[in-house]
Amino acid sequence: MRRRTFLTTAAGSGLAASAGCLGSVGAVLGDGSQHTVLGKPETQPTRSANLPYPAYGEKLPDATLPAAIADRTVSVGDLETAVVMTFFYSHCNTVCPFLISSMRKVQTNAIEGGYGDQVTFLPVTFDPARDDAERLREYAEMMNVDLDAGNWYFLRPDDHEHAKEVVEERYGVTFEKTGATDSSMYMYNHLGLLLVVNAEGYVERAYTGDDPKGTRVWSALETVLQA
């Protein structure tokens, strides 16, 4: 199913702004759901159904993607754990490092709290041309990701068209090349999004704001895991 897509305008700071990576501040509104542990987000700008990406109370869209480093595929809909998901590219020097750093800190908290096997971390690249297995392995090391924990998978669409189909059409995260688009030095404008999803596959929180230490993401996830 094709979701509504959009590209935000620059505003704010941290995850919500910087040259080349765009977003809006705060958790998004949901309509409530008997499938969620958490209540409606405090910030309620609009109904979940009006947003381009999966938001509070909505079922996370399914997708089957190659996990480049793990040399396997991952079917999002088949996972029986909670999920923390984002969309990024490794050459980004603005919002993406914050997204991955937040996820990495949440991964550490989950492992130290004894929840390591109850949550799966799924960063999805929309730049498969440059983000091959070798590059993602280097990036994981640079970002201090614990790949040995067995709960972190860098998902990589087959090509640009596949990335458009999955990231933009299915998950509603629009990305657009900027700069030297005819060379390897291109960048992207895109939304900075972090999703917290419960084990039943329903979105508990969709964060597009500043959370560089992963505090809000971990707080929401921990409550979900404890339930």
61-93, pLDDT tens digit by residue? Answer: 999 999 999 989 999 999 999 999 999 999 999
Interatomic CA distance for residues 73 and 64, integer angstroms? 7
- Tens place of pLDDT for every residue, the chain, 227 residues? 444 444 433 333 344 433 344 443 344 444 556 899 999 887 747 889 999 999 999 999 999 999 999 989 999 999 999 999 999 999 999 999 999 999 999 999 999 999 999 999 999 999 999 999 999 999 999 999 999 999 999 999 999 999 999 999 999 999 999 977 667 889 999 999 999 999 999 999 999 876 778 899 999 999 999 99
Upper half-sphere CA count for residue 114 (Cβ side, 13 Å): 1
Q: Is residue 197 part of a domain?
A: yes
- We report the CATH number of the domain holding residue 207 as 3.40.30.10
Q: Is residue 7 part of a domain?
A: no
How many structural domains comprise the chain? 1
Q: Is residue 198 part of a domain?
A: yes
Torsion of CA 158, 3, 106, 209, to 10 degrees: 120
Residue 167 CA: distances (Å) to CA of 5, 62, 123, 174, 226: 10, 11, 11, 7, 30
Which helix (DSSP H) or strand (DSSP E) does residue 66 occupy?
strand 64-67
Q: Which domain holds residue 213?
A: 14-226
Q: Is residue 108 part of a domain?
A: yes
Q: Is residue 5 part of a domain?
A: no
112-139, pLDDT tens digit by residue? Answer: 999 999 999 999 999 999 999 999 999 9
In the prediction, which pLDDT does 159 show?
Answer: 97
- Indicate the pTM of the whole model: 0.87
**Angle between helix 215-226 and helix 95-112 axes, rounded to 10 deg:** 40
Interatomic CA distance for residues 67 and 142, integer angstroms? 18
Interatomic CA distance for residues 169 and 1, integer angstroms? 8
DSSP state of 29: P
Q: Is residue 2 part of a domain?
A: no
Interatomic CA distance for residues 25 and 208, integer angstroms? 6
Q: Is residue 6 part of a domain?
A: no
Q: Is residue 189 part of a domain?
A: yes
